[in-house]
Amino acid sequence: MSALISEVVYRGIFQKNLAARIVRGIVLSARKSDRWGIAFGRYGDSPQRNGIPAKDFAIVADTKEELEQNMARYEPKHVDVTICIDDTLSKGVESWAWYGLQPINRLTVPNGTVLMTSLQSVDDLLGDIHQKDAPWKLSLIRAKTSFSGLWVYKEDHTEVRVLGALAKIAPSFLTLDAVCQAIKEMEWGSDLKAASARKAYERLETREIKPGAGNPETPYSFEMPRWWEMREGVTIPAIPIGKPKEGGKGYVPERNPYFKKFTTRTMRPVIDFDTCVKCNLCWIACPDSVFDVMPDGTFDANMEACCGCGVCEAVCPVESCITMVNESVFNDHASQWEMWRKDKAAYKVWLTDKIGNKKATVRSHGFRFRGQYEEELKADLDAGGVAITAGIPGENAKHKTV
C-alpha cells in the first residue's frame, strides 16, 4: 500500500484555474490507472489576492482506505512532489496561511521531487532554492511561466505538460497512457494536448540535488503570539505614522512588520532616478505604500513591501523611468536609491543591463497596452491552442462565446 502526495504552489488568482486543472488532472489520471484520488485547496489561502502564493493538493492512493487515512489530515505535512508553476517562487513562499518564508522545497520528502516550469538553468535556480539536509530532485519542464488574466485560463498546455512530467516521476501511480486518456476525456482536453503531455514526458530534465546544495540563507520567520498571550477583545491597530529620513528631508512609511510581500511578485520596478521628475504619482498610486520619499525628492521602491503589481510603471509619466523587470534576475532586496547615490555611473550600467534585458522585461501578467491580452490569445490560437471559452472549467463554459 502506498500513496503519492503532490502540492501545486501557484500565484493566487492568476494561476488559480491552472492549479485547479493540474490537481484535477492528477486525480482523473489516477482513476485511469486504477488508483484512488482526491484534490483540494488549502483553506488558509482563501480569499486570494493578486500574486499571493497559494497551494492546491492532490493525493493518490492504492486503496480507498489509504486515501481516507490521508484525507483525515488537515493538510499534508510532507509531499512526494512539489509542483511549482512560477519559477520566481523558488525564492520562497509567504502565503496567507504561513507567517515567514517557507522554502519552496520545505514539504518535499527526502528523495522527493520539485517539478518546475522554468527557462532558467538548474544552477541559477539553486541560487534561489533553499538547501535541505537530505537529497532531493529538481525536474524541469522547459516553459515560460503561464499567467492568465483574472479567473481565466491561458491555453498554453501547461497543465497537460505537468501531468505528462508527473507520469515520468511517479509511473506507479500515473502511467503516461492513463494521463493521456484522462486528458482526452476532460472537457478541456484534446489529442493535441495529449501529444503535449507525451512530449513533456520525453523531454523532462531531472537533476539529483545533494544535501546542502542550494541557497544557504536562513528563511525569515516571526514569533507569533500564543492564544493566551493575545489581547482581550478584537481590535485592529491602525498603521502608525512613518518615520522621517535624514533629518526630515525624506520620509519612510510604516509597514506591516509580519508580512513581507516580496514573495508575491514575479516582477519588480526598476527606477531611473536621473529621469524622475518628482511628480509623486507612483507614491500616490502604489497600493502597498512601497515608496520611501528620499531626501532629494525622488522615490525609492522598498523591495520588502512591493507586491509587483506594476501600477507604478503604468502611472509614471516619464518614458522608461519605471520599468518592471522579472524577479529572477535579482539576488537581493537592496535599495536602488542607495546604490544610485553611492555611484551614479555604476547604477546607470546596472539599470541599463536590467531594463535592456528583453526576456526579463516581457510582462508575465498585467497589461502594458489596451488589447494586449487579445493579441496574446490570438498568438496562442495560432500556435495550436483552443478558444479560451472551451477552457473554462465548469458548466457555464458552453454558455459563453468568444
Question: CB of residue 101 vs ligand SF4: minimum separation in angstroms?
Answer: 18
Which range binds ligand SF4 by CB under 6 A, 141-149, 239-247, 271-279, 340-348? Answer: 271-279
Question: CB of residue 352 vs ligand SF4: minimum separation in angstroms?
Answer: 17
* Of residues 156 and 288, the one with the C-beta less far from ligand SF4: 288
Concatenated DSSP letters of 299-320: EEE-TTT-----HHHHH--STT
Question: CB of residue 331 vs ligand SF4: minimum separation in angstroms?
Answer: 18
The CA distance from 41 to 59, in Å, is 12
- On whether the CB atoms of residues 204 and 168 are closer than 8 A, the answer is yes
Which residues, in sequence order, are bridge partners of residue 61?
3, 36
Question: CB of residue 282 vs ligand SF4: minimum separation in angstroms?
Answer: 3
The CA distance from 292 to 219, in Å, is 25
Q: What share of the chain is helix, strand, coil (3-state, %, to 5)?
A: 35, 20, 50
Question: CB of residue 308 vs ligand SF4: minimum separation in angstroms?
Answer: 5
Query: For ligand SF4, which residue of 170, 306, 377, 388 counts as binding (CB under 6 A)?
Result: 306
H-helix segments, 145-223? 158-169, 176-185, 191-203
Please tell me whether the peptide bond between 135 and the residue prior to it is cis, using omega within 30 degrees of 0. Answer: no
Binding residues for ligand SF4, total number by CB under 6 A: 26
Query: For ligand SF4, which residue of 20, 84, 311, 351 counts as binding (CB under 6 A)?
Result: 311
Question: CB of residue 318 vs ligand SF4: minimum separation in angstroms?
Answer: 5
Question: CB of residue 287 vs ligand SF4: minimum separation in angstroms?
Answer: 6
Which residues, in sequence order, are bridge partners of residue 54?
10
Query: For ligand SF4, which residue of 53, 310, 385, 391 counts as binding (CB under 6 A)?
Result: 310
The answer to the question of residue 141 lying near ligand SF4 (CB under 6 A) is no
The CA distance from 173 to 60, in Å, is 7
Cell representation of residue 160: 497537460
Beta strand segments in 258-363, E = 267-271, 291-293, 299-301, 322-326
* Of residues 43 and 367, the one with the C-beta less far from ligand SF4: 367
For 217, list phi and psi in degrees, rounded to 5.
Answer: -60, 145
* Of residues 83 and 281, the one with the C-beta less far from ligand SF4: 281
Burial class (CB in 10 A: 0-12, 13-18, 19+), 16: buried
Dihedral sign of CA atoms 201, 79, 327, 18 in order: positive
* Of residues 12 and 25, the one with the C-beta less far from ligand SF4: 12
* Of residues 25 and 269, the one with the C-beta less far from ligand SF4: 269
Identify the residue whose cell numbers are 493538493.
Answer: 57
Query: For ligand SF4, which residue of 112, 189, 250, 269 counts as binding (CB under 6 A)?
Result: 269
Closest CA to 82 of 4, 175, 157: 4
* Of residues 51 and 92, the one with the C-beta less far from ligand SF4: 51
Residue length, the chain? 402
Closest CA to 265 of 286, 240, 241, 242: 286
Classify residue 231 by its DSSP letter: P
Which range binds ligand SF4 by CB under 6 A, 155-163, 235-243, 309-317, 375-383? Answer: 309-317
| Contact pattern from residue 100 through residue 139 relative to ligand SF4, giving x for each residue in contact according to CB under 6 A and a dash for the rest | ----------------------------------------
The CA distance from 325 to 309, in Å, is 11
Question: CB of residue 399 vs ligand SF4: minimum separation in angstroms?
Answer: 35
The answer to the question of residue 312 lying near ligand SF4 (CB under 6 A) is yes
Query: Which of the residues 45 through 64 are near ligand SF4 (CB under 6 A)?
Result: none
The CA distance from 5 to 93, in Å, is 19
Query: For ligand SF4, which residue of 288, 292, 300, 327 counts as binding (CB under 6 A)?
Result: 288
Query: Which of the residues 313 through 352 are near ligand SF4 (CB under 6 A)?
Result: 315-316, 318, 321-322
Question: CB of residue 322 vs ligand SF4: minimum separation in angstroms?
Answer: 5
Question: CB of residue 368 vs ligand SF4: minimum separation in angstroms?
Answer: 13
Question: CB of residue 344 vs ligand SF4: minimum separation in angstroms?
Answer: 16
Interface residues with ligand SF4 (CB under 6 A) are 269, 271, 276-282, 286, 288, 290, 299, 301, 306-312, 315-316, 318, 321-322
